[in-house]
Structure 1
Amino acid sequence: MPHGDGSADLEHEVAPHVRRLRSRALRDRLAESMLFLPSLMLIASIGLAFALGEVDTRYMTDPSDVITFTPDVAVTLLGTIAGAMITTAGVVFSLLVVSLQLASGQFSPRVLRGFWRDRHGQVLVGLLLSTFAFCVTALSRVDTGADHAPPLTVGFALLLTLVSVIAIVVYLDRISRQQYVGRIMERVVRETHGLISELPYGPHIGVKVGEPVDPPDLTALGRPLVVTATVDGWVQQLSRRAMVKATPPGTVLRLETRVGAYLTSGTPLVTMWPPPPDPAVTARLIAEAVIVGPARTMQQDIDFGLRQLADIGLRALSAAVNDPTTAVEVILRMGSIMRPLLLAECPAQSVRDPDGRILLTPCDLDHAEYVGHAFNHLRHYAAGHVAVLIPLVRTLRMLRDGCHSGYRGAMNADRVRTIAALDRQLLLTVAGARAANLLPEDLAQVEAAAGL
């Protein structure tokens, strides 16, 4: 009995954190769904058609003060609107598919999520389907033997049609602007800034588990319990607090993955010392604290913002596209992300909670690793482009100067490693330019910009 009570207590502690994870994951999936919002609008339009039909039948017996139609005219009008709306919906879907193909081919497949999440497009599809459903439902309410057609029903159908036409014009304007690479990058930067602003802890990044401590000597802790992953996919979210609460006080946990990493079924997920009294329950609770999906998302993953920008830059530097101007803008946008990121405090990789549990997160990225992820690929493929190399080295110098000026007092080890990583990127960038056999004048410009 005590054993069962302990498991129930653990589940009670973990449940609120898991519910928050799942609710955030559900909201993210629904925000990217082209079906959810249109379906709600479709159902609402059908219900409204029946409601207005009842009001027309009971109260609008003398519609002399409102716009009226004969039943035959109303049937023709509603049928024409329904046919036009469903045809227009097909055209809008075609435009969306073409936009997705262009964005995927020219920029990166990872930027498509911005088009899926576009609320204006979802509302337009919902309006078109709602107008179609409303008109079809209203047709069944029209009595061809009556003196007049239901005025409120026909009037609302005309209103839906007018709103749909306006929404189509707005959508055409919006979708043409969304194809501009600057708008795509602006969205990525805005989402990434939102996560960076929460560092070191926040409602999306994750709440604070405990206070930083020195990592313990794991070799002296005995044989551990290894909890393995049960699914394959990308780690979209995880709750450190839920993992800690799933173990007894005094436990040492080491998280073997991070948000944005790919998880392979059967590989270690968490290692803990000593093994808990009920390993099966603990393993299940820990697995529930990790949300795994088929693709990376921006729910907690700052590194994914850097990956999206880098992909656009690499596509721009490819021989097929050859668009160095876009690559330059990518580097500038990367700098606007990296500066607040490098000045922000990352969560500690070894913390102890009030009950003596220690959580180790060695896989979490530090500032030096963020620098590598942001610039390693870009500097490699930009080696032969002087117009791209100069903004790149200037951005690296700007970030290095920011690390020096934005930090007061003696620098800690993380800041020293960050500055060293930026210096390394500068040296490698110049070395790549030298290996690319640039003209002496071009190479001199790059070296001067790098301060070498």
Structure 2
Amino acid sequence: MGRLRLAQLRDAFWLVPMLLGIAGIALAQILVAVDRKVGSAGSGGEGALLYQVGVSGGRDILGAIGGSMLAVAATSFSITISVLATASSTYGPRLVRNFMNDRGNQFVLGMFGATFLYSLMVLRAIRGGSEVGEEFVPDIAINVAVLLAIIDVIVLVYFINHIARSIQVSTLSARVRSELDAVVRTQYPESEPEESCPAPAPDGGSAVDSRTSGFVIGIDEDGLLDEAEKSDCLIVLRVRPGDHVIDGDRLATLHGTDDRQSVSADVCRHVHLGETRTPYQDIQFAVQQLTEMAVRALSPGTNDPYTAHNALNELAASLVPLARRRAPQLGRRGDDGTLRLVVTRLPLTELIDDVFGAVRTYAIGHPIAMTAAILLARRLGVAAVEPDVRAAVLSHLELIYDALDRVDDQVDAQFCRGEIDEARTAIAAA
């Protein structure tokens, strides 16, 4: 579960700017100390990169750099907020986090803030002759401030290009798909873990109830397996990432332990709850983000079936490899070979229901999007190795076929029926 916490910390919007700000302050203190040590190093002053400007000139340069960087940072932040508002209204509020944890945005704002703090720290070190103490101008630190200002101009150009690219549908959908690919790799790996085994969940057992409310954002299965081994018991999970629980809801059941209170506390500690869903272990949330992009694009206010077409193709890129894999075994054995943990996984059939249920409702009158949905069904059905997955795909194709009777333009409806017939033939042949 340390990986989950590390991923959440890495995606925090404030982390990179804070680290760069601390680095800027530290660099200022170090260079000022170096300037004090070398005294009047670089006194020749004819170089283009290292020159002396005196007390007044140093203050003017640092004040100009610091003030301009703060203004640019405020402008960049305003642009980011504007993009967030646009993304929220166009693609859905759940996609805002993709902009908040964007490394490029974090780095840009962090650089501007770090340059401001660096200039401020160096400015306070300048001492004039009329002040108490000896006159001191940190020439090396001032030259580095000028260099940082030049770098920040390049960063500003990069930011404008980056923010323009990040709002594009293809970029956003590819980013969401990468998160879906990651959760597929971790939760549904091609090779089963060595300790995995078939596990019919036993009935009964002592209930472990939640002590707080929220969404299940992650489950530390390795930690639960260790706890089950130490307590010589079997833990059967009853929730999975993405589930919403309230205080008193059942999280798991325990079998074969007398120390129920201690083990229950350990189970609650390894089942992490949060205020919002995240895609780190919650595959349904990752799928819903792309589905929401498709659905919102088909709303009358947007009317952009090509965005829906793109989102459905991205879904195919992640779900088809998942359809080629066998359903995961849910049991986990301990070192002694005894069944110690039964986990939960969302079946692919439920994901198929989520996607095609929404598509059938909102895309039925959009042939461009509907064609992409039928192609997605065809790819899933051909790739499926589990009979229930193939049956679910064929069932949704049948529902779409029947729903086409309600379409006003029967020319497009007839074309879609032909696509469905071809998809059925391809699935049957596979």
TM-score (norm 1): 0.85
Matches within 5 A, 1:108-127: 108-127=92-111
- Map Cα deviations across residues 349-382 of structure 1 (whole Å, 9 max, x no partner): 3454445235334x52122222212322122211
2:388 aligned with 1:385, yes or no? no
- 1:360 paired residue number: 342
- Map Cα deviations across residues 175-202 of structure 1 (whole Å, 9 max, x no partner): 0111011110001112222332345449
Q: Secondary structure at the match of 1:136?
A: helix
Q: Distance in 2 between matches of 1:267 and 1:195?
A: 25
- 2:293 paired residue number: 312
Pick from 203, 211, 221 the counterpart of residue 230 of structure 1. 211
Pick from 216, 230, 237 the counterpart of residue 255 of structure 1. 237
Contact 1:250 1:356 (C-alpha < 8 Å) held by counterparts: no
Amino acid at match of 1:106: T
Q: Secondary structure at the match of 1:230?
A: coil
TM-score (norm 2): 0.89
- 2:428 paired residue number: none
Contact 1:196 1:302 (C-alpha < 8 Å) held by counterparts: yes
Q: Distance in 2 between matches of 1:184 and 1:166?
A: 24
Q: Distance in 2 between matches of 1:208 and 1:102?
A: 46
Matches within 5 A, 1:48-447: 48-62=27-41, 63-64=43-44, 66-145=50-129, 149-198=137-186, 200-201=188-189, 209-213=195-199, 215=200, 218=203, 224-247=205-228, 251-274=233-256, 276-353=257-334, 354-361=336-343, 363-403=344-384, 407=385, 415-434=386-405, 436-447=406-417
Q: Percent identity?
A: 24
Q: CA RMSD in A?
A: 2.3
Contact 2:228 2:341 (C-alpha < 8 Å) held by counterparts: no
Shift in Å, 1:72: 0.7
CA distance 1:197–1:240, shift in 2 (3 Å): closer
Q: Distance in 1 between matches of 2:360 and 2:119?
A: 58
Amino acid at match of 1:129: G
Q: Distance in 2 between matches of 1:263 and 1:84?
A: 49
Shift in Å, 1:286: 0.6
- Structure 1: state its 5+ residue gaps: 1-20, 408-414
CA distance 1:147–1:372, shift in 2 (3 Å): same
- 1:37 paired residue number: 16
Shift in Å, 1:239: 2.1
Q: Distance in 2 between matches of 1:344 and 1:441?
A: 38
Q: Secondary structure at the match of 2:395?
A: helix
Further displaced range: 297-306 or 81-90? 297-306
Matched residue count: 411
Q: Distance in 2 between matches of 1:206 and 1:107?
A: 35
Further displaced range: 391-400 or 163-172? 391-400
Contact 1:209 1:240 (C-alpha < 8 Å) held by counterparts: no
Amino acid at match of 2:16: L
Amino acid at match of 1:212: P
- Structure 2: state its 5+ residue gaps: 425-430
- Map Cα deviations across residues 394-427 of structure 1 (whole Å, 9 max, x no partner): 2211221222xxx5xxxxxxx1101000101111
CA distance 1:44–1:350, shift in 2 (3 Å): closer
CA distance 1:189–1:216, shift in 2 (3 Å): closer
Amino acid at match of 2:137: A
- Map Cα deviations across residues 284-335 of structure 1 (whole Å, 9 max, x no partner): 1111111211112122222222110001111111122221111111111111
Q: Distance in 2 between matches of 1:88 and 1:169?
A: 12
Contact 1:206 1:239 (C-alpha < 8 Å) held by counterparts: no
CA distance 1:346–1:67, shift in 2 (3 Å): farther
Q: Distance in 2 between matches of 1:29 and 1:310?
A: 23
- 1:411 paired residue number: none
Q: Distance in 1 between matches of 2:189 and 2:410?
A: 48
Q: Distance in 1 between matches of 2:233 and 2:351?
A: 30
Further displaced range: 26-35 or 52-61? 26-35
Q: Distance in 2 between matches of 1:87 and 1:337?
A: 42
Q: Distance in 1 between matches of 2:28 and 2:407?
A: 72
Contact 1:298 1:305 (C-alpha < 8 Å) held by counterparts: yes
Q: Which has the higher contact order (CA 8 A, sep 6+)?
A: 1
- Map Cα deviations across residues 118-175 of structure 1 (whole Å, 9 max, x no partner): 1121111111111111111111221222788321011011011111111111011100
